[in-house]
Copies of this chain bind each other. A is one copy, B any other.
Amino acid sequence: MKPQNPSYRDHTRAIFDKAPFIADLGLVLVDLGPGWCETALAVAPKHLQQDGYVHAGVQATMADHSAGGAAGTLVRGNEMVLTAEFKIHLLRPAVGERLRCRATVLKPGKTLIVAESEVFAIHAGEEKLVAKAMVTLVPVMKGGSPR
Asked whether B88 lies within 8 Å of A85 as measured between CB atoms, the reply is yes
Could you tell me the distance between the alpha carbons of A88 and B142 in the complex, rounded to whole angstroms? Answer: 24
28 A-B residue contacts at CB 8 Å?
Answer: A14-B50, A15-B50, A20-B46, A20-B47, A20-B49, A21-B46, A21-B48, A21-B58, A51-B82, A56-B60, A56-B61, A56-B65, A56-B86, A58-B61, A85-B87, A85-B90, A85-B136, A86-B88, A87-B88, A87-B134, A89-B107, A89-B114, A89-B136, A91-B114, A92-B147, A111-B138, A111-B147, A136-B136
Q: Are A47 and B21 within 8 A (Cβ)?
A: yes
Does A28 reach chain B (CB closer than 8 Å)?
no
Q: Is the interface of A mostly helix, strand, loop or mixed?
A: mixed
Question: A55 and B147: CB pair below 8 A?
Answer: no
The 9 lowest CB-CB distance pairs between A and B, nearest first, are A57-B61, A87-B87, A21-B55, A18-B50, A60-B60, A19-B50, A91-B107, A85-B89, A24-B46
A87 to chain B, nearest CB (A): 4
- Within A68-100, the residues touching B (CB, 8 Å) are 80, 82-93
Question: A93-147: which have CB < 8 Å to B?
Answer: 93, 106-107, 109-112, 114, 129, 132, 134, 136, 138, 146-147
Tell me which residues across on chain B come within 8 A of A60, comparing CB atoms: 56-57, 60-61, 64, 86, 88
Distance, CA A89 to CA B86, complexed state (A): 7
Contact A112–B88 (Cβ < 8 Å): no
